Chains A and B, each alone.
Chain A
Amino acid sequence: MSSALDQIFVHAKHWLLSWIAGAPGWVVQIVSSLINIVALLIVFLTLFALISVLERKILGRMQNRYGPNRVGPFGLFQPVADGIKMLIKEDIVPARADKVLHFLAPVILAAVAILTLGVIPYGRNMTAFRIDGGILFFFAVGSATELAVFMAGWASNNKFSMLGAMRAIAQMFSYELPLIITVLPAVMVVGSLMPDRIVFAQGEYTLGIVPRWFVFTPWGAAAFILFFVSGLVESNRTPFDVPEGESEIVAGHMTEYSGFKYATFFLAEYLGMFAVSGMAVTLFLGGWHAPARVLEFVPSYLWFFGKLSALLFVYIWLRATLPRTRVDQMMNVAWKFMLPMAFTCVIAAAVWHYGGRGLRGWLWSLLVIVVVYSALSILLDTRRKFARRVYRFAE
């Protein structure tokens, strides 16, 4: 019974495909891909609509106010109202803008975000796009985001857009390095770039109780935190939303966008957030595996989306809590702290592997991480240098 419920979507797809069983191979292939794409779009556009209203509700709750509560029960139909508003707004394109690139930029951003969603395993046998180098695909396609952001900034022909795009690209480049290097330990330990295999490797339980998710190893915990923070930066979320600092550069690369194109940027940002969180779940939080053997009767996709929702809640929580960072502080953290720590995770994972993957390796890898962390904290300690603050303006 539970396995039937677990595989219900897979069976539904096979049932749909059985309708065209007599068609030539390439037709079946295309229809199969289309089913995957449509399913992905429906799920994630719904999730986008939900999260856009839930985010405002949660932010409201945390800031002691109501949040949207006018449209429908508890304000749940707010996304519909927002969508209609965005659709009927005037689409303003600056006279001196590069019309084609101005149009293409949000489209490419959204397309890239949707593509990256394809390689994540959402449940047992539920990967939309199964490919040997899935992790590499995720980051290779994701790296096109920078180009799209640049396109938006340049095509708008506005200095705020250009400056915002520069900031966005600078922070994305700096944090892409720790983001990718923190993936390395998981890939090394499993020995595969395929997300399905990485999830599969986390399926067992130590002593029958503790799941073997990578987040429960010292290197995994450190890598998870680094990955999560880098993911925050990549999706331009608070506290790292420097590219859209309203008080400095209006809305950054989105300054000259209005109406539905602006909504597309918004959509791409959220889809990117889902993708990075989904990848974090896949790599470190055991993907679709249940946290205990007795809970395995619950369908796998529910576990995946449960973990995803938990991560998304942390995103919203951080947004309600933290102020915006300064650009130079952000860059310093990226290069002086995040990058060495990411490399330390790689070494700690190797130590863990050669320590026998048991308690001994666990303790040794903890030692490596603690030593490097303390050394970095002492080296980067700025408290002693609080002598005189020098303000530097644009020179």
Chain B
Amino acid sequence: MSGVAFILISILTLAAALATATLPNLMHAAFCFVLALLGLASFFFLLGAEFVGLALVFIYIGAVAVLIVFTILLTRRDSKEHHGVNWSGVLIAFAVFVGLIWAVLKTQSLSIVPPHIRALTVRQIGQTLMTGYVWPLQCVGLLLTAALIGALVLVMEEKK
């Protein structure tokens, strides 16, 4: 059951990712990117990490995707014609791919049978965040608040 689901979700995610990279219309690419993110989130659901999956949906589809879409609208460049192959992109993609493969192969505990881990409840995650990781959490909070205030300062009307 979960094997079939895994294959289906993989196909969906990969197809969406491929479409994101190849579609000529930027807006279509952005929506395909959202689809790929949805596939990733469903992987987390499949692994029993509900919270991470939901956070991914919340942050990436709810906020980051809208940001991307708006950025595309602001830049306004429908590049219908092709400029040939972008070699730097190919190089970076290849480097990332090799790096990931190397990391996967170096992983010691790479076993086919998944180890039996109990699914994390939201309560456990909350307790971990509020005890062991409370300082990183506070730092992230501070950073986000600073970003919010910065955005407000940027759009503030200049007093005449």
| Chain A contact residues, CB within 8 Å of chain B | 25-26, 29, 98, 101, 131-133, 136-137, 139-141, 143-144, 146-147, 150-151, 154, 169, 173, 191-193
Which of B51, B57, B69, B122 lies in contact with A141, CB distance below 8 A? B57
How many angstroms from the CA of A9 to the CA of B67 in the assembled complex?
44
For A137, what are the chain B residues with a Cβ–Cβ distance below 8 Å?
50, 54
**Given A132-B50, A133-B54, A151:B31 Cβ within 8 A:** yes
Report Cα–Cα, A143/B69, bound state, in Å.
Answer: 15
The answer to whether the Cβ of B46 comes within 8 Å of any Cβ in the partner chain is: no
Question: Which residue of chain B is the closest to A155 with respect to CB atoms?
Answer: B27
Q: List 5 A-B contacts (CB under 8 A).
A: A133-B51, A136-B55, A140-B62, A143-B57, A146-B66
A150-B66 in contact (CB<8A): yes
Inter-chain CA distance A139–B55, complex, in Å, is: 10
Choose among B58, B65, B121, B123 the residue that contacts A139 (Cβ–Cβ < 8 A): B58
How far is B31's CA from A131's CA once the two chains are assembled, in angstroms?
27
- Which of A136, A151, A192 contacts B54 (CB under 8 A)? A136
Beyond A137-B54, A144-B57, A150-B69, whether A132 also contacts B122 by CB under 8 A is yes
Q: Which of B18-64 contact A (CB under 8 A)?
A: 27-28, 31, 34, 50-51, 54-55, 57-58, 61-63
Residues on the B chain within 8 Å of A143, using CB: 57-58, 61-63
Contact of A133 among B62, B69, B122 (CB under 8 A): B122
Q: Is the CB of A136 within 8 A of B51?
A: yes
Residue B85 is within 8 A (CB to CB) of chain A in the complex? no
**By the criterion CB–CB under 8 Å, are A133 and B50 in contact?**
yes
Q: Does B101 touch A at the CB level, under 8 Å? A: no
- A191-B58 contact given A132-B50, A143-B63, A151-B31, CB 8 Å threshold: no
Interface range for B: 20 to 34
Also in contact, A147 and B57, with CB within 8 A (given A132-B122, A193-B122)? no
Considering the complex, give the chain B residue whose CB is closest to the CB of A138.
B54
With a cutoff of 8 Å between Cβ atoms, the chain B residues found around residue A154 in the complex are: 27, 69, 73
* Cα separation A154 to B70 with both chains bound (whole Å): 11
B138 → chain A, closest Cβ, in Å?
Answer: 16
Q: In the complex the two chains form, what is the Cα distance from A383 to B36 in whole Å?
A: 51
Report the minimum CB–CB distance from A149 to chain B (whole Å): 10
A147 x B34 contact (CB < 8 A): yes
Query: Which single member of A25, A147, A191 contacts B65 (CB below 8 Å)?
Result: A147
Give the docked Cα–Cα distance between A98 and B26 (Å). 13
Indicate if B1 sits at the interface (CB-CB under 8 A). yes
Note all chain A residues with C-beta closer than 8 A to B55: 136, 140
Q: Measured between alpha carbons, how far is A150 from B58 in the docked complex, in Å?
A: 17
- Per the bound structure, the CA–CA distance linking A131 and B54 in Å amounts to 11
- The residue on B at minimum CB distance from A104 is B31
Does B122 contact A140, Cβ atoms closer than 8 Å? no
A260 and B28 alpha carbons, distance in the complex (Å)? 24
Chain B residue at smallest Cβ distance from A27: B1
Contact present for B27 and A144 (CB under 8 Å): no
In the complex the two chains form, what is the Cα distance from A305 to B58 in whole Å? 29
Whole-angstrom CA separation of A101 from B63 in the bound complex? 19
A131's nearest neighbour on chain B, judged by CB, is B50
Select the residue from A26, A143, A151, A192 with max chain B CB neighbours within 10 A: A143
**Would you call B69 and A192 a contact (CB within 8 A)?**
no
Complex Cα–Cα for A189 and B131 (A): 18
Beyond the given A143-B58, A147-B65, A147-B66, please list 16 additional residue pairs across the A-B interface where CB-CB is below 8 A. A26-B1, A29-B1, A98-B28, A132-B119, A132-B121, A132-B122, A133-B51, A136-B51, A140-B61, A140-B62, A143-B57, A143-B61, A146-B66, A147-B61, A150-B66, A151-B31
